């Protein structure tokens, strides 16, 4: 069945499968006591060496935001239950890392990513640890069925106190899959640092894309484009870079090609747009909430010929240096920066914390 997934996902799934099943017969968590009187939000995250995913960056940054806000005294930590020494280093952060699987019934509230709810939800429930689920991709909510049953999955969501959702599309997916739990959904906004992802003063005739996403599609678009690009234009893959490297490359490019597929709220197109790119390609469904033309240009998944034509038309538009067009794009980018601002992120996290602190309200 796994042969249906693209190679990158297969590699990640093989690594993640050990996280899901390595100690399935034994609870990896233990009960302990704490002197803390305030709430501690523990975000569980799989430890996968060499894999750079926007979802990991989101929970690291949001754990950091919660800890720094100290809203009602709430603290937060990241826990890699299978490898306490692991931490992501490809982006800057000040997230607090939890170095043991010892949890307190009195103070800890655990947030489980949707891909790990089986068997972690059952383990936590058996110890009386309160938990919620963070769904960053509604289309990944079925992944735990590879290591468990429908009943296991339904029980995980039934016993969760809150279900965090990264996008409107993700909320709709959760409500479809678990209609009886729809009232638990809390929309969360991530933030993008617009002081880091911003246009370079000297833009280049670069077209950027991420080759790890739908490689067959990007290879075809690249193949047809290379025979038609105007002189001085070139393609540049965004691959193997840390966050600063990605921001620097996107700041210099003018067009970003999006090959998102079944994603909750894809981060790279937002970062690319704020860095001054026209974004052309697939929404992955989750990006529909921010996919506003003329900055964002929709291509139906698999429509390679139209993809290439739109890129070439956009190059002509950019070279025309239309003031009206530039003003429209700037207005959209300002709205995008507000939508995914630190303030919007903080406000959504505070609403979620209010629900966790006062579950009966």
For the segment 297-340, what is each residue's pLDDT rounded down to a tens digit? 999 999 999 999 999 999 999 999 888 888 999 999 999 999 99
Tell me which fold the domain 2-191+342-357 belongs to: Rossmann fold (3.40.50)
Task: Point out the least confidently predicted range of 26-30, 120-124, 264-268, 346-350.
Answer: 26-30
pLDDT, one tens digit per residue, over 64-106 is 999 999 999 999 999 999 999 898 888 889 999 999 999 999 9
| pLDDT above 70 as % of the chain | 93
DSSP letters, 179-221, are GGGGGGEEE------TTTS---SS--SEEEE-TTSSHHHHHHH
Dist. CA 139–CA 177, nearest whole Å: 10
Is the pLDDT at 12 greater than 80? The verdict is: no
Q: What is the CA radius of gyration of the chain?
A: 21
The answer to whether residues 134 and 111 touch, using CB atoms and an 8 Å cutoff, is yes
Check for a shared fold between 2-191+342-357 and 206-339.
yes
pLDDT for 361: 59
Which residues lie closer than 8 Å to 158 by C-beta, 6 or more apart? 178, 180, 181
Is the pLDDT at 185 greater than 90? The verdict is: yes
| pLDDT above 90 as % of the chain | 81
Bridge partners, 44 (sequence order): 79
Domain residue ranges in the chain: 2-191+342-357, 206-339
pLDDT, one tens digit per residue, over 25-70 is 589 999 998 767 789 999 999 888 777 788 899 999 999 999 999 9
pLDDT for 252: 98
pLDDT for 16: 53
The answer to whether residues 73 and 39 touch, using CB atoms and an 8 Å cutoff, is yes
Between 25 and 110, residue with greater pLDDT: 110
pLDDT for 20: 54
pLDDT for 157: 98
3-state DSSP assignment of residue 266: coil
What's the mean per-residue pLDDT of the chain? Answer: 91
Task: Kindly list the distances between the CA atom of residue 127 and the CA atoms of 32, 155, 358, in Å, as whole numbers in the listed order.
Answer: 11, 15, 21
DSSP 312: H
Phi, psi (rounded to 5 degrees) for 208: -105, 155
| CATH class, range 206-339 | alpha beta
Model confidence at 1, pLDDT cuts 50, 70, 90, reads: very low
pLDDT for 35: 66
The answer to whether residues 57 and 243 touch, using CB atoms and an 8 Å cutoff, is yes
Dist. CA 341–CA 193, nearest whole Å: 7
3-state DSSP assignment of residue 260: strand
pLDDT for 37: 75
Is the pLDDT at 9 greater than 80? The verdict is: no
pLDDT, one tens digit per residue, over 124-133 is 999 999 999 9
Is the pLDDT at 13 greater than 90? The verdict is: no
Dist. CA 80–CA 18, nearest whole Å: 13
Choose among 43, 120, 127: nearest CA to 88: 43
Is the pLDDT at 21 greater than 60? The verdict is: no
DSSP letters, 114-149, are GGGHHHHHHHHHHHT-EEEEEES-GGGTTGGGGTS-
Give the residue-averaged pLDDT of 180-207: 97
């Amino acid at each position: 069945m796994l042969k249906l997934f693209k190679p990158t996902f297969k590699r990640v799934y093989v690594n993640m499968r050990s996280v899901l099943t390595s100690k399935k017969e034994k609870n990896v968590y233990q009960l302990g006591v704490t002197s803390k009187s305030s709430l501690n939000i523990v975000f569980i995250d799989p430890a996968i060496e060499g894999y750079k995913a926007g979802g990991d960056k989101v929970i690291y940054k949001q754990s950091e935001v919660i800890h720094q806000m100290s809203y009602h005294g709430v603290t937060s930590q990241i826990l890699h239950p299978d490898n306490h020494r692991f931490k992501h280093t490809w982006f800057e952060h000040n997230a607090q890392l939890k170095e043991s699987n010892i949890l307190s019934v009195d103070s800890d509230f655990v947030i489980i990513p949707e891909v790990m709810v089986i068997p972690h939800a059952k383990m936590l429930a058996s110890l009386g640890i309160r938990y919620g689920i963070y769904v960053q991709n509604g289309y990944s909510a079925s992944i735990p069925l590879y290591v468990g049953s429908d009943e296991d999955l339904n029980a995980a969501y039934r016993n969760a106190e809150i279900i965090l959702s990264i996008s409107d599309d993700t909320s709709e997916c959760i409500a479809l899959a678990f209609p009886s739990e729809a009232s638990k959904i809390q929309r969360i906004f991530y933030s993008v640092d617009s002081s880091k992802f911003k246009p370079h003063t000297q833009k280049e005739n670069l077209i950027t894309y991420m080759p790890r996403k739908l490689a067959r599609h990007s290879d075809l678009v690249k193949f047809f484009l290379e025979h038609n690009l105007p002189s001085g234009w070139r393609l540049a893959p965004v691959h193997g870079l840390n966050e600063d490297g990605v921001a620097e490359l996107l700041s210099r490019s003018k067009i970003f090609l999006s090959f998102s597929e079944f994603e909750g709220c894809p981060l790279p197109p937002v970062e690319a747009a704020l860095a001054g790119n026209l974004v052309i390609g697939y929404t992955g469904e989750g990006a529909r909430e921010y996919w506003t033309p003329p900055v964002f240009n929709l291509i139906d998944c698999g429509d390679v010929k139209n993809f290439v034509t739109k890129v070439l038309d956009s190059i002509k538009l950019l070279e025309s240096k239309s003031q009206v067009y530039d003003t429209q794009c700037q207005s959209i980018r300002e709205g995008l920066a507000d939508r995914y601002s630190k303030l919007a992120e903080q406000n959504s996290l505070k609403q979620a914390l209010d629900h966790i602190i006062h579950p009966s309200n």
